[in-house]
Amino acid sequence: MTGFDRALSEVDGEAAVAVVLGLIADGADPLAVLVDVVAAGQRRVGERWQRGEWSVAREHAATGVSVLATEAIARHAERVPVTRGRVLVACAEREWHLLPALVISTAMRLHGWDTVLLGASTSPARLSQYLQDVGPDATAVSCSVLGALPTTRRFVEASTTAGVPILVGGSAFGPDDRRAVALGATAWAPDAHGAVALLDHLPAVVPKAVPLRGDRFVEQAAVELGHNRLVEVLRGRWSATTSGGAPSFDAACGEALHQAVHAVSAALLTGDPRPIPDTAWWIDRLLTARGADSRLVAELGAVLALAVRDFPEAHALVVGHWPGGLLVPEGERAS
């Protein structure tokens, strides 16, 4: 276990800060420390939660330690003179993972950009206010959860209406630029290094994003609006949530339901079906790590397909892309 992992595990902020500042004092590239130590350590934190080794609270506490370490690097980055323009770094609504945005902002600052970081879960109205007040050269949006993609699209509209290029990245965009292009973003970056490299090549002014029109988007809006109702319907029909289990298992199942509905919404919004199988496999790992049977995931696919049967596009996406065949639950057989 590395010193940084130990600090995360023991929730020792001072030790984590000492590790990263020590590496930088020894001549390590601060951006490399940010990406290879802090971001990598944080990824292992997420994996520990997913494997059921750590509770949500423990994951949050460890994340707090990563934030402290990143802030220490950010303070170090303040010494770098500003030689380039200004970037507004933001997280869309429902994106509570501030750390990736903080990492991106710090990486850009280290490269001579002046950055303004808005907090977690920011509304489009707040972003717009900052676009007018700051007049940035670019907007950078970090999106790690599928549920934040719809507001990220609003961010694209806000930014491009002001003519400001918008760079997006984060795990919710998947392994390529397909979703980013679908949302009308100016550019997509696979990681912090890529984001910094792209900044130098963004156009000064971009045209307003093309409006999204069509059945897919009408359905997406309806699924988004009915999100909580859909989750409740699923909760009442999925055997994992109707039979009752340990509180931590119930919490994981609740999270799975939200993610499943967000995946449908993300697939409708971007025209990329991959969020659906990706989310199914993610739920599979989440539940099997907590002792559940993989058949629960197949069953969830069937329950989900039934719940969205009034939305033809959404229904086709679930039926066509939820893996493992569809196990139709007893008494819910669709005609």
Radius of gyration of the chain (CA): 21
- End-to-end Cα, the chain, rounded Å: 55
Contact with other proteins (CB under 8 A): which of 43, 51, 214, 228?
A: 228
Q: Please give the size of the binding site for other proteins, defined by CB under 8 A.
A: 40
CB of 260 to other proteins, least distance (A): 17
Query: Is residue 61 a contact point for other proteins (CB under 8 A)?
Result: yes
Rounded distance, CA 306 to CA 39, Å? 39
Residues 150-169 touching other proteins, rule: CB under 8 A, are 161-164
Query: Which residue, 228 or 239, is less far from other proteins as judged by CB?
Result: 228
Contact with other proteins (CB under 8 A): which of 26, 79, 83, 125?
A: 125
Rounded distance, CA 321 to CA 310, Å? 18
Query: Is residue 88 a contact point for other proteins (CB under 8 A)?
Result: no
CB of 60 to other proteins, least distance (A): 4
Stretch that binds other proteins, among 60-68, 194-202, 214-222, 283-291 (CB under 8 A): 60-68
Question: How many CB atoms within 10 Å of residue 150?
Answer: 21
Query: What's the distance, CA 330 to chain centroid?
Result: 35
CA-to-CA separations, 76 to 69, 73, 105, in angstroms, rounded: 11, 5, 13
CB of 133 to other proteins, least distance (A): 6
114 touches 85 (CB < 8 A)? yes
Query: Is residue 246 a contact point for other proteins (CB under 8 A)?
Result: no
Contacts of 276 (CB under 8 A, 6+ apart): 263, 264, 267, 317, 318, 321, 322
Contact with other proteins (CB under 8 A): which of 25, 32, 40, 56?
A: 56
Query: Is residue 60 a contact point for other proteins (CB under 8 A)?
Result: yes
Stretch that binds other proteins, among 10-18, 188-196, 209-217, 311-319 (CB under 8 A): 10-18
295 touches 329 (CB < 8 A)? no
Residues 178-217 touching other proteins, rule: CB under 8 A, are 204-205, 207-208
Residues 14-33 touching other proteins, rule: CB under 8 A, are 14
Query: Is residue 58 a contact point for other proteins (CB under 8 A)?
Result: yes
Query: Is residue 85 a contact point for other proteins (CB under 8 A)?
Result: yes
Rounded distance, CA 55 to CA 290, Å? 12
Q: What residues pair up with 168 in beta bridges, in sequence order?
A: 141, 188
Per-residue contact track with other proteins, 278 to 307, x per CB under 8 A? ------------------------------
Query: What are the strands, taking DSSP E only, across the chain?
Result: 86-91, 114-117, 138-142, 166-169, 187-189
Q: Sign of torsion, CA 304 212 144 47?
A: positive
Query: Is residue 222 a contact point for other proteins (CB under 8 A)?
Result: no
Rounded distance, CA 152 to CA 67, Å? 23
Binding residues for other proteins, rule: CB under 8 A, are 11, 13-14, 55-58, 60-61, 63-64, 67-68, 85, 93-94, 96, 120-123, 125-126, 128-129, 131-135, 137, 161-164, 204-205, 207-208, 228
